[in-house]
Amino acid sequence: MQNIRPSAELRNKYNEISNLCKETREPVFITVNGHGDTVIMNLEDYNQMVAELELLKMLSESEDDVRNCRVAPVENTFKDIRKKLEL
């Protein structure tokens, strides 16, 4: 269930909202005049979400490369890496 709070509570009960985000690991939705405005979430959960989105983006790009035949044998890839590292 979404936790929705008015903006006045963000001002008056910040510590409570912050603790709620940490304890439940769920975002808190802040409203202004009854309309959604902002989402507050724990920094650790935010960082995890960003990392997951970045991974999904890379996977999507990789799938696109495979679909469009932009691939190379793994041996060639390692040769290129070794050459760049001068090993």
Supply the range of the domain harboring residue 58.
44-85
Which of the 8 DSSP states describes residue 68?
A: T
38-60 pLDDT, tens per residue? 999 999 999 999 999 999 999 99
Both 22 and 35 in one domain: the answer is: yes
Give the per-residue pLDDT at 87.
61
CATH number at residue 8: 3.40.1620.10
pTM of the model: 0.73
Whether the predicted pLDDT of 23 surpasses 90: yes
Query: In the sheet that 3-6 helps form, which strands lie side by side, from edge to edge?
Result: 3-6, 28-32, 35-40
Both 10 and 32 in one domain: the answer is: yes
